[in-house]
Structures are given as structure tokens and as C-alpha cells.
Structure 1
């Protein structure tokens, strides 16, 4: 092989000369083909392989030819060659079974490239069945080959699992990753994929167990450590979450993790959901040019510009209750500027996947929703409907449709989409969309006086996110409507706490319910905090502060 590696042109002559003396030498025929590929004589290599195959003495060269055709993106021709290779009566000989398995795996790759996803899955499942037969035969005929054949079986199962993951068939994906680990129990890549999948399904304990096994054998594994930090963050064990991040940074101070620390700080320590949109934007902006986190940072920035206060878009309950700060013209100008900024940022997004392109279309049309102009909302709704019709159970599209319907005052249609989402199984991938859809459906129920149904949805939000400000705010509103002012105050307290005491509207509601519950000192304290940041907040002084002070004097 040294001749081939260093002097491929000379090697071709040597091999061709040797092949004339021994035309049935398959290894030589294969070397000639590979030498031609190495010298970039692709067309000559294809012609050579095809001529060799016509002699019917070098059938195994089909694989080399198919691989070359795939490299040259001649997918249709490649698929035809592989189907020809597989068109034979059922066999039980080990060499033929091994070849068939290789053909099927390569065929699945080709079918994936031309978006024949279902055919690709079928080819992989056939390859899995064939490889099971291979494993039975090698135990008797080639025991030395068992580890290599087990590795191939594991790879096939992992590919099937990836297919199901891309189709959101997460439970089936778990099954095949587990099967892969039966064949190769120390395959770290598969273990990480399985852990990631458990995290997607919010099976936190199973994910933690998988990560622990990885870290036991590889204590410096970056991805497992990051997942452990994520798990601790979800369990609201913030000290342990930060500990895992610090561990990683101390071990690898020059890694992408430290370079993207602003993004991680933003996600873990200064979340955009705690009422600090400007801080979050500053951190995301620093991470914007990062190779690994840049696109995610831009997505988050756009979402903040379109909804800085993290309101329930399309919701009606708080629509006329929230007091505007400053004059409405100033607020409208600020909102228009934010939409224009979001539109500029959209140009920075370069999706690499079909899912990424869909997400970009949805965000582009959320910009139209944010203008609040009927014509724009209707245009956006048409796009959301088109996506929802072509992509089954696409969470973002369904939620966007419901939001648009609410903005067009078509509540029954919005409710139908949201009820459809409410029946779907929760996954971490769509966690934000689930929360937003449950909150919007709860808003609809509250608006029509169905407090019990709204309460169930709000509890569902809090089961998955114990710091969901909006859920506590809605619960506070329900209690206030029922004149249970003490209970209302407890919920507004939590909304105020998890919103980092920055939202003046929640501060007002909390102070009002403290006043009603005769907690006058607490009401005065909250008034001071709100007025320190927003001195002209409507009605705060007259409705609450003055009354609380008067109550204390009497």
C-alpha cells in the first residue's frame, strides 16, 4: 500500500500489469480502482469498475463502485447498483450475508441524502435483521470477528435510533439506543446520545444515571458534565449546576465552554425569563459571533425583541389591566424599533437543516404578528397554517396559529389548536412552546370564567417549571377574582420573586392584595420598590401607598 499512498500513478501501472497475469485477483482489481480514485480519475474509475463487474468475476467491487458514485453525488445510479447487488434469492453463507449488510447500510445513506427517509429506515431495519444472522454465523465460523461484527450491529441500531429521533419518535429511539448498548456496552457516543434523549423526554433520573456511568469511566467528559449541570439546574440545585460548570472550566480553561461563557451565564444565571431582558440581550450579543452558540444566541435575541416582557402573546386577561408606563406613542415607537431590530437579526440566521428553515420562517412571521396590523397577522397565519399542514404536530406552528387566531379575535379556532397541543406528550425540545400554549389556553379559560380548567393547566406549567412567573401571576389573578386575597398575595409573591422584582405590574398587584389582606407594611415595602424604579407608575401612590399608610395610622 506504500506505493499506492506515495505514487498512485505508478501503482496503477504495476497493478494493471499484475492483473493481466492473474485476472481473477479481486484484491488487485480493488487496488486499481482505489488508485484511480486517489488520482481523481473518477470517470475512469467508474468505467473500470463497471467493466470489471461485467466479467462477473468481481461482484464484490459493486460496493466500491456504489461508494464512488455516492461521492460523486450520482445518487440514482448508486441506488440502482445497490438494488442490483441485493436482488438475489435468500442465502445463508456468511460472506454474502456480510456483503448484503454493507449494501443495505450504504443504501440507507443514499436514501437519506435524497429524502427517502422511510425507505432509509426500512433498509436499516433489513440490515439489522441480516446482521443478526451474521452474528450467529461468526460465533461458529469466525469467532475472532465477533467484536467487529457487534460494533457494526451497534452502529446500525444507533442509525435507526437517529432516524426515530429526527421524526420525534423518542420512545422507539430509546429502544434502539439500548439495543446498541447490548452489542457494545461501552460505546460512549451511544451512551451520550441516549442520555441526551432521556433529557429530551425529561427523564432526568435516567439521564443522570447514564451520565454517571460515562463520568465513572471518563471523569473529564465534557458533554456528560454539561448534561449533569443541566440536570442540576432543572432540579433547581443551582449550587451543583454551577459546580459542574466550574469543574469543566477549571479543567479546560481554553475550551469553547469558556469562550461561550456569556451564553451559559445567560442561560443559567441571568435567564431572560427573570425580568432582565436588557441583561440577557447583552450576554446573548457577546455570544452572537461564537461558532457553537451564535445561532442560538441570535434566535433568543429575536424572541426577546419581539416579546421583551415575556407576556402571553394573544392573551386577553391582562390586556386591559396592565398600566402603561409613559405615553402610549413612546411605547408604540419602542415596539416598532424592536421589530425592525428583530428583522435585521433574522438575516444573520443561516439554517443548516430542514427544521432550521421552518423555524426561521416561523420567526419571520412572528415579526409580522408583532406589528399587530390585521393584514400582517393574516399573512402570518397563512404561513403558520401551511407549515402545520405539511409538518405533523409541529408545536411552534400550532402555537403560532393559535396566537394569530387570538390576535384576530377568533378565540374558538385558537382554542382548538391549543387543546390539540394540550393532548400531546411533553418533551424538553418543545418545553417553551408547551408552556406558552398552556398559558394561552389558561388565559382563554380564565377569560370565560372556567377557573378550574385554567388551574389544571397552570399547575402543569409549574410541574415542569417551578419558576414560571406567568403561571403564578394567573393563579394570583384567579384567587383575587374569588376574593381570596391572602392566597392571591402568596401567588403574586412568587411571581414577583421569580420575576426578579422588576415587573411593576406584578408589583402593583402584589401590593394591592397585601392591602386587601391587611398586610399594610408589606404593601408599603412593595410600593417603595416599584416607585423607586418607576416613579410615575399609574395609581400606585393614590390607590395603595396612601391607603396603607392611613390604615397604619388609624
Structure 2
């Protein structure tokens, strides 16, 4: 385990942020980054340390500078989430739209990593659209997210069966939110919303989310 000396203490670089002061953490991680400058995990730790210190402008600058040298989906998501938190919605949207993989469908649909990245980008983008009251764009983006996550579920059945339950729960969450936003726009339970609620239940019939979707569907239908 790689340690860094801070004062008289030896601190492991994988120590939880709760164990060390953020300023000390930055010193630890940046020292380690000198040896592995393209390490996205360490870069994320530095960015999160700045956020914990409420030094948001420094965090933004750090993420932006790092992304010029490191192409990493986690860092892009963290920067987009930070922009959203700071209500800099245009910047968040810019990062996310630039990050979305818009290659030929076959290229994306055959790559689980790209699919998962796109789902992550889309889910943050939905938050941006909802916060800026762009409800139709939020629904369109949720429908894209549903498409990507549906493909993921089909793929993991063969490639990653152990992750199937988690991926189906993610899909159910997306469907539940999609149904809710459609109802908010239509101001009623529409056939489209019914389909989304039913699909959510089908993916997680015995979970709290599945039960909630079923109850909402029944109450709205009445």
C-alpha cells in the first residue's frame, strides 16, 4: 500500500476522506499523482477534496484541467454534477452532450462500457433539464436512457449474469421516473405512462420500487 508522510503521520492514499483533513488529502493525492498523472481515481479524490472544502471554483478548474489530459467518464460526471450543484446548467449540459457517445448505433450497442457511460451522462442531463424546467427534453433524454439501459439488461444476461438484478433495478428506476415525468407533463395517467409503470414492475416485481410503481399505477388509473 502506498503511503504519504504528512507531518509525523503516514497516510495511505486510499484512506477514506473522513479519516484525513481535505487539505492533507490533496497533498497526499497530488504527491501520488506525480508518479501516475493519468490516474483518474486519484484525480477524482483531489476534486472531491476541494468540494469538501467548499472550494468549488478550484474544484471546477481542477476537473477542467484534468479532463484535457484524462478522458474519463467518472470525472466528466463529477464535473457535470458539480456544475449542476452550482446552478451552472449551461456548462453541465455542455459537458454531458459532448460526452455522450453518438457513434453508429452498432458501436454503442455492442459496448457495455459505452452504454453504461451514456446512461450515467443521460441521468445527470435529465436533472439539468428538470431544474431548468425543460420537461419535454427531460422526457426525451429519459427515453434514450431507457433504450440504453434495456440493451444493458439484455447483454448482462449472457455477459455478466451476477449484475442482472442491479441493472434491472436501474432500469426500473428509469422507467418509474419516466412515467412520473410523462404524467407531470400530460397532467394525467396516459397510455404511455401506463406502459412505463408496467415495465418498471416487470423488472423489479418484488422490490420496494416495484411495489411503489404498482401502487402508483393503480392509484393513478383510478
CA contact (8 A) 2:142 2:178 kept: yes
Tell me what 2:43 maps to: 29
Q: Is the 8 A contact 2:173 2:200 kept in 1?
A: yes
1:321-343 per-residue CA deviation (whole Å, 9 max, x = no partner) reads xxxxxxxxxxxxxxxxxxxxxxx
1:25 deviates by 1.5
CA distance in 2, matches of 1:178, 1:39: 44
Aligned to 1:11, the other structure's residue is in SS state: helix
Quote the residue 2:117 is aligned against: 99
- Asked if the contact 2:38/2:69 (under 8 Å) is kept, the reply is no
Distance 2:160 2:213 in 1: 31
Matched, 1:192 2:206: no
Partner of 2:6: none
Q: Match for residue 320 of structure 1?
A: none
For 1:110 and 1:9, the matched residues in 2 are separated by: 30
How much has 1:56 moved relative to structure 2? 4.0
Structure 1 CA distance for aligned equivalents of residues 70 and 15 of structure 2 = 29
Q: Does residue 135 of structure 2 align to residue 121 of structure 1?
A: no
How far apart, in 2, do the equivalents of 1:108 and 1:152 lie? 15
Relative to structure 1, the CA distance from residue 201 to residue 3 in structure 2 (aligned partners, 3 Å threshold; closer, same or farther) is closer
| Contact residue 4 and residue 11 of structure 1 kept, 8 A | yes
| Superposition map of 1:30-179 within 5 A | 30-90=44-104, 91=108, 92-166=110-184, 167-170=186-189, 171-179=191-199
Q: Which residue of 2 aligns with 1:428?
A: none
Q: CA deviation at 1:33?
A: 1.1
Deviation at 1:139, TM superposition (A): 2.3
SS at match of 1:21: coil
Would you say how many aligned residue pairs link Structure 1 and Structure 2? Answer: 202
* Deviations, residues 350-401 of structure 1 (Å, cap 9, x unaligned): xxxxxxxxxxxxxxxxxxxxxxxxxxxxxxxxxxxxxxxxxxxxxxxxxxxx
Q: Is the 8 A contact 1:3 1:10 kept in 2?
A: no
3-state DSSP class of the match of 1:186?
coil
Instruction: Give, in angstroms, the shift of residue 190 of structure 1.
Output: 4.2
Correspondence for 1:14: 28
Task: Answer whether contact 2:84 2:128 (CA < 8 A) is retained.
Answer: yes
Q: Offset of 1:193 from its aligned partner? A: 4.3
Distance 2:35 2:50 in 1: 20
Change (3 A) 1:147 1:181: same
Measured in 1, the distance between the counterparts of 2:61 and 2:112 equals 29
C-alpha distance in 2, partners of 1:127/1:80? 18
Structure 2 counterpart SS, 1:73: coil
SS in 1 for 2:34: helix
Is the contact between residue 101 and residue 114 of structure 2 (CA under 8 Å) also seen in structure 1?
Answer: no
Q: Output the CA distance in 2 between the equivalents of 1:83 and 1:186.
A: 35
SS at match of 2:187: coil
User: 2:18 maps to what in 1?
Assistant: 5
1:411-443 deviation line (CA, Å, top 9, x unaligned): xxxxxxxxxxxxxxxxxxxxxxxxxxxxxxxxx
Whether contact under 8 Å (1:161, 1:172) holds in the other structure is yes
CA contact (8 A) 1:98 1:131 kept: yes
CA contact 1:53–1:59 (8 Å) conserved in 2: no
Q: CA separation of 1:59/1:178 partners in 2, compared to 1, >3 Å: closer, same or farther?
A: closer
User: How far apart are 1:59 and its partner, in Å?
Assistant: 4.6
d(CA) in 1 for partners of 2:200 and 2:59? 36
Structure 1 segments unaligned to the other structure (5+ residues):
203-554
**TM-score with structure 1 length normalisation?**
0.35
Does the aligned pair in 1 maintain the 2:182–2:192 contact within 8 Å?
yes
Sort the Cα spacing of 1:162 and 1:58 in 2 relative to 1 into closer, same or farther, 3 A. Answer: same
Residues 130 and 3 (structure 1), Cα distance of their counterparts in 2 relative to 1, 3 Å cut: closer
Aligned structure 1 segments of 4 or more residues deviating by more than 6 angstroms: none
Normalising by structure 2, what TM-score? 0.84
Higher relative contact order (CA 8 A, sep 6+): 2
- Work out whether residues 38 and 70 of structure 2, in 8 Å CA contact, stay in contact via their aligned partners in 1: no
Equivalences for residues 194-213 of structure 1 within 5 A: 194-202=214-222
> Which is greater in Rg?
1
Q: CA deviation at 1:76?
A: 1.2
Q: Conserved in 2, the CA contact under 8 Å of 1:174 and 1:194?
A: no
